[in-house]
Amino acid sequence: MIEIGINKALHGADGAMDLSVNLHIKEGEFVALSGKSGSGKTTLLRILAGLEEASGSIKIHNKFWLQENKSLPVQKREIGFVFQDYALFENMTIEKNLLFVNNNKALADKLLQLTELHELKYRYPNSLSGGQKQRVSICRALMKKPKILLLDEPLSALDANMRTKLQNELLSLHKEFGTTTIMVSHDPSEIYRLANRVIVLQNGKVINDGSPKKVLLKTQGSQKFSFEGELLDIKKVDVIYIAIIAIGQQLVEVVVSSEEAKNLQIGNIVNVSTKAFNPILT
């Protein structure tokens, strides 16, 4: 069990903000950490890794990493950390990048096989694609057999195909090693595929915590469909009003009543939902 009860005063975009988080995470869980920019996600990961100070306590499998003012140094915390920007050692081959962390050749070979990097093990990072580099970072983070794997938006710099491929690899690695994982992600489909729990932060506090289905699905009650979008414009056409709404990368038009048109403001985040039709998937 991982028991976190930490506090830290931060300078948020709108002034002082307290990062105040109490969480219990079970061994082997895959937790997605979500929330708006500036809500404290990266800071929480850095506090767990010992890269940043905080008050409170962090207890990992009955061992305190932080208690009162005593903090276990970074190198003694059994943590694997993967950042968005790879952070590989450019002057070392892929294999050396892994062995530098832990000189366990059998484990390095196994990880490189699992992630289809074996052929590239004598290459240097600068000759690899972004996706390949990130796979090396993930393997390197697992070389220490960490108690927790911390992933800070590890796939956000990659294109959609590579993201899906690496999501599958993260899933296989999690199945194989069962490492407790906390991953910052903004992508609902990624969270749904990988995580068994989602924690949403807002202004330094946990505002939602539950299964991806419970936290992410927007349909409630009798609604058949519900999408969240941004209201871009409202046009009056003859006697009706049409709202233009951006949902993801798509624009949709929705007829609204004059009353609704009066109450809506451009820039509003709105839910577009419907109860009574059967969609056709093509």
Of 1, 143, 6, the closest CA to residue 63 belongs to: 1
Residue from 5, 12, 56, 131 touching ligand ATP (CB under 6 A): that is 12
The site that binds ligand ATP (CB under 6 A) totals a number of residues, namely 13
Query: Using CB under 6 A, which residues numbered 47 to 86 contact ligand ATP?
Result: 52
Of 93, 66, 95, 92, the closest CA to residue 79 belongs to: 66
Q: Is 11 in the site for ligand ATP (CB under 6 A)?
A: yes
Residue from 2, 25, 31, 39 touching ligand ATP (CB under 6 A): that is 39
Q: Where are the beta strands (DSSP E) in the chain?
A: 2-12, 15-25, 30-35, 55-60, 63-67, 70-71, 79-82, 148-152, 180-184, 197-202, 205-210, 225-237, 240-247, 250-256, 269-274
Strand partners, 60: 2, 63
Here's the x/- map for ligand ATP, 96-135, by CB under 6 A: it reads as ----------------------------------------
Of the listed pieces 7-15, 87-95, 121-129, 169-177, which binds ligand ATP according to CB under 6 A? 7-15
Residue from 30, 40, 170, 185 touching ligand ATP (CB under 6 A): that is 40
Q: Is 16 in the site for ligand ATP (CB under 6 A)?
A: no
**Residue at 216: amino acid letter:** L
Q: What angle is formed at CA 18 by the lines to CA 15 and CA 20, rounded to 5 degrees?
A: 160
* Residues contacting residue 121 through CB under 8 Å, at least 6 positions apart: 93, 94, 95, 108, 112
List, as one string, the DSSP characters of 40-57: SHHHHHHHHHTSS--EEE
Strand partners, 80: 149
Give me the least distance between CB of 75 and ligand ATP, in Å please. Answer: 20
Residue from 15, 37, 249, 276 touching ligand ATP (CB under 6 A): that is 37
Q: Which is nearer to ligand ATP, 45 or 142 (CB)?
A: 45
Q: Which is nearer to ligand ATP, 173 or 201 (CB)?
A: 201
Of the listed pieces 38-46, 91-99, 190-198, 228-236, which binds ligand ATP according to CB under 6 A? 38-46
Residue 15 structure tokens: 């002034």
Q: Give the residues lining the site for ligand ATP (CB under 6 A).
A: 10-13, 35, 37-43, 52
